[in-house]
Structure 1
Amino acid sequence: MFYLTSAVLGAALLCFAFLGLHARRADGPLDDYVTARNSQSAATLGLSFLASGMGAWILFAPPEIGAFVGPVALAGYAIGSALPFIVLGLYGPAIRRQLPEGRSIGEFAEACYGTGVRRWVALVSVLYMACFLAAELTAIGAITALLSEVPPALVVIGVAATTLLYTAIGGLRASLATDRWQAWLLIALLLIVGGVALVRLPEMPVGAALPSIPVDGALGVALTLVIAVTAANLFHQGYWQRVWAARDERALHRGAWLGGATTVAVVALVGGLGMLAAMSGLTLGEPPMPFFALLGEAPGWLALPALVLAVTLVASSVDTLQNGIASLVVAGSGRRGLSIGAARLVSVALMVPVVIVALQGLSVLRLFLIADLLCAAIVVPVLLGLWRRMTPLAAMAGGMAGLLGAILPGWVAQGSLAAGVLAASFPGSIPTLPPFLGALAASTLVSLAVASAAPHERARPL
């Protein structure tokens, strides 16, 4: 079984590499390497948004939310996962018109507010995507250890090296090309694995009910997830690249809605499997993993397609993140003449520390929550950049107020600054609503107040 599993996983990765390398433009300029400008249809963008947004996290988080918190919180997770695409679908056309030669969220921030805000935004974006990368590679290592005898480090390095090969050589076009096939493959595999697992599900006990917590608690979790996931993913440079990759504004709008709708469906489906596992009385494990508890009742051969599903999910998100980080660094260099060779070198260099962290098998959930909160503190000031009254001072003041707002609920509730900071760092890795609400409300109110009080002339008109 070891050799069969290794051969199947190797074949899947080789297919992804072939598709990515086949799509490259050998003589394309750096701009095409990082944006594939004005080249992608709505269908391609929709599938790409789905594939790049999915990752091994969908096999862990949505089933656990469904199993322990219930359908209301799961709906919040699904909406939060899709909302960044919808926001970019609505905002994207205006961003394209105002910044037709743009390449990144950092350049958008610079056009709105100047170099200082660009560096701040770019730093948050890179930190968030690095956490995402480490989490995905860590997850595939854990899933490999759970479902096969293949050494986890071998798969972690294999996925990282293969995706790095075709993204470093082919750039964004390579990522977009593999996304199309990976999206269809992950849907097919998810239906096969989920369908077979459901057929072997134990009979529901008499009186089985949907998992749930009190409505106010479920709504609080749902709102927390919507804010956290949406704010963080709006700093995902891979999604911003697709704003300029779209063939035109209509393709961007339709592709974003297609990606959002399919993302909601996939997250709801996987989360629903977690609810069914809990309702059937299965032992969910410690730590609980409802999706993999279902596989425990399924035929042994199902572990192989489940592992291919996990590799597909990880590869589809990792290649987007790799290219996104490299493009953000390239766009932030301030040198339009930077060579493609240098961009490729950036891709390789940035993966080394990420792979080292992933091989440690650490939990990154708490880091993810902190990164989400950082993003929530500055997302509104950044998006308000399209408002002509906004100024660099208003954006910076709003961002600083957002950080203070994240600490304030715990500070007020427990009476000390240290307690507020601790609460905003999510001890126990449990997402709580007050820090996110505080960050969002404070950053919005202060940004609007400072911008409204400023003279009508804008310092740096977009």
Structure 2
Amino acid sequence: MPYLTSAVLGAALLCFAYLGLRARRADGPLDDYVTARNSQSARSLGVSFLASGMGAWILFAPPEIGAMVGPLALAGYAIGSSLPFIVLSLYGPVIRRYLPEGRSIGEFAEACYGQGVRRWVTLVSILYMACFLAAELTAIGAIASLLSEVPSWLVVMGVAVATLVYTAVGGLRASLATDRWQGWLLLALLVLVVGVVIWVLPPLPENAEMPTAPSVNALSVALTLIIAVTAAELFHQGYWQRVWAAETNRALGRGALLGGAGVLLVIMAIGGLGMLAVMHGLPLGEPPIPFFALLAEAPSWLGVPALVLAVTLVASSVDTLQNAIASLVVAGSGRRGLSIGTARLVTVLLMLPVVVVALQELSVLRLFLIADLLCAATVVPVLLGVWHRMSSVAAMAGGVAGLVGAIVPGWVTQGSLMAGVQAASFPGGIPTLSPFLCALVASTLVSLLIAWCWPATRAPLSAKEARHDHA
């Protein structure tokens, strides 16, 4: 059985590598390598957003939230995961007009505020994506241990190397090409695995009750997840690459909405399995893993397609993250003359520390939450850059106010600054609403106040657009 599983996983990864390498442009410039500018239709973008937005985390987090907190918190998670795509559908076309030759959210920040804000935004974005990348590879190692006898390190290395081959060679076009296949494959495998699990379960016990938490607690968790996930994913460079990859503004808007709707439905469906596991009274494990508790009740042969599903989920997000981090580093260098060879070398080198961290099988949840909080403190000042009154002072002050706001709740309740810092670093990896909410509110209010009282002298967006259109 381990040999069969290894063969199936190897075949899947080889197929992804073949599809990615076939899509490369051997003679394309660096700009095409990192943006595939103006090349993707709405449907292609929609499937790509779905595939790159999914990951092995959907087999852990949504079922656990559904099982432990109930449908209200699950709805918050689903909304938080899909809301960034709605923001991109509305905000992306504005940024395309404002920065038609852009490559990253860092370049947008520089165009609005200058190099200082760009460096901060780039740092936050890379930190978030590196945590995401390490988490995905760690998760596939854990899933391999749960579902098969294949060594977890072998699966981690297999996914890392296979995706690195085609992203390093083919760039964003390779990632987009594999996303189209991975998106449909993961939907098909999800339907198969979920359908079989539900089919083999016995009827619900008469005393079965849907898991619920007190409304205040459930609402708090829902709001925390909406703020944390939305803010963090707006610093996902992979999504911003697709803003400039869209054929037109209309294609971007429709593609982002399609991807967001797909993410919403998938998370609600997979999270519902967690509630189903509780209603059937299954042992969830410690820490709770409801999806795999349900899988244990299914036929043993289902383990292979479930593992292929997990590998597909991880590959679809890892290849996006690999190219996204490399493109951010290349764009952040400020040197438009960089070669594709340099970009490929950056892609390879950035994966080395991530794979080392993933092989340690550490929990990266706390790092994830800290990175999410940095994003929540920064996201509004950055997005307000399209407002002509915003200045770099207002943006930086807003970001600092967001960080201070994150510390204030713990500082006030526990009576010391260090206690506030400790609370904002999420000891135990437990997300709480107050740091996220205060960071978001403080950064927004301070940015707006300074921009209103001391406006920038730069031209408004409409004037810049007019000059661009005239040119």
Structure 1 length as normaliser, TM-score?
A: 0.99
User: Is the Cα–Cα contact under 8 Å of residues 391 and 460 in structure 1 kept in the other structure?
Assistant: no
The answer to whether the 8 A contact 1:114-1:460 is kept is no
For 1:389, the equivalent position in structure 2 comes to 389
Q: What is the CA-CA distance between 1:415 and the residue it aligns to?
A: 1.1
Change (3 A) 1:196 1:124: same
- The alpha-carbon deviation at position 217 of structure 1 amounts to 1.0
**Residues 399 and 300 from structure 1, CA distance in 2 versus in 1: closer, same or farther, beyond 3 angstroms?**
same
| Correspondence for 2:264 | 264
Gaps of 5+ in 2: 465-471
Q: Secondary structure at the match of 1:150?
A: coil
**What are the equivalent positions in structure 2 for 1:9-88 lying under 5 Å apart?**
9-88=9-88
Q: What CA distance in whole angstroms lies between the structure 1 residues aligned with 2:231 and 2:33?
A: 27
Alignment partners' CA distance in 2, 1:15 and 1:41: 23
What's the offset of the Cα at 1:49? Answer: 0.4
Where 1:28 maps in the other structure, the secondary structure is coil
Provide runs of 4+ in structure 1 moved above 4 Å.
459-462
User: Hey, what's the Cα distance between the residues in 2 that align with 1:320 and 1:3?
Assistant: 29
For 2:98 and 2:428, the matched residues in 1 are separated by 43
Query: 1:460, 1:75 → 2: CA distance?
Result: 38
Partner amino acid for 1:132? F
Displacement of 1:458 after TM fit?
A: 2.6
Map 1:76-225 → 2, pairs under 5 A: 76-225=76-225
Alignment correspondent of 1:428: 428
Query: What whole-Å deviation, never above 9, does each CA across 1:330-377 have from its counterpart, x for those lacking one?
Result: 101110010000000000000000000000000001110010001000
Which deviations, in whole Å up to 9, do the C-alpha atoms of 1:62-101 show, x marking residues without a partner? 0000001000000000010011111011001110001000
Residue in structure 1 matched with residue 287 of structure 2 by the alignment: 287
Q: In 2, Cα distance between the equivalents of 1:458 and 1:391?
A: 8
DSSP-derived class of the 2:337 partner: coil
Residue 448 of structure 2 aligns with which residue? Answer: 448
- Mapped partners of 1:455, 1:83: distance in 2: 30
- How far apart are 1:202 and its partner, in Å? 3.3
In 1, Cα distance between equivalents of 2:407 and 2:271: 31
The 8 Å contact of residues 41 and 251 in structure 2, kept in 1 or not, is answered as yes
Deviation at 1:459, TM superposition (A): 8.2
**Secondary structure at the counterpart of residue 297 of structure 1:** coil
Query: Residue type of the partner of 2:161?
Result: A
- Asked whether the equivalents of residues 14 and 162 of structure 2 are also in contact (C-alpha less than 8 Å), the reply is yes
Residue by residue, what CA displacement relative to the aligned partner does 1:160-179 show, whole Å, maximum 9, x if unpaired?
A: 00101000000000000000
Structure 1's unaligned 5+ residue stretches are: none
Instruction: Tell me if the contact between 2:44 and 2:180 (Cα under 8 Å) persists in the aligned partners.
Output: yes
What is the total number of aligned residue pairs between the two structures? 462
Once the two structures are aligned, what percentage of the paired residues are identical?
78
Q: Deviations over 1:384-425 (max 9, x none)?
A: 000000000000000000000000011111111111111111
Contact 2:391 2:455 in 1 (8 A): no
| Aligned residues of 1:102 and 1:108 also touching (Cα < 8 A) | yes
- 1:456 Cα deviation after fit: 5.2
CA distance in structure 1 between the aligned counterparts of 2:364 and 2:64, rounded to whole angstroms: 16
Map of 1:303 onto structure 2: 303
Q: What's the RMSD between the two structures over aligned residues?
A: 1.0
Helix, strand or coil at the partner of 2:111: helix
Deviation at 1:209, TM superposition (A): 1.6
Matching residue's letter, 2:342: A
State the AA in 1 paired with 2:155.
Answer: V
Three-state SS of the structure 1 residue aligned to 2:458 is coil
